[in-house]
Amino acid sequence: MPMSAIKKLSPVIKEIRVLMCQTGQASAGTRQFVQSAYPYLKKHNPDLPVMIREAKGTPARVFARFESGVEKHVELDNLSSVDVQSKVAELLGASSS
């Protein structure tokens, strides 16, 4: 899935939080995704809060907060950066746009 699939996100998305371990192998794909996607995501969504939280032993996952405080998340442990991108796009509803 190309990076353009998560270019301009819907205004119903209010916040994205990425949690991962800064050194653990299970978070390697998520770290790689963050390095490549974060600048692109912020360039096209400058007002969207995107928080990256790293802590030892933390399972890799991403949370999205939508309108009315609804939150959804996906687990990203042991996924490649390509699979992480696909899961994030699916969570954010970008794969259908």
Give dist(CA 60, CA 80) in Å, integer.
12
Q: What is the pLDDT of residues 31-88, one digit of tens each?
A: 999 999 999 999 999 999 999 999 999 999 999 999 989 999 999 999 999 999 999 9
pLDDT of residue 1 exceeding 60: no
Q: Of 62, 83, 64, 73, nearest to 19 (Cα)?
A: 62
Note the pTM of the prediction, 2 decimals. 0.88
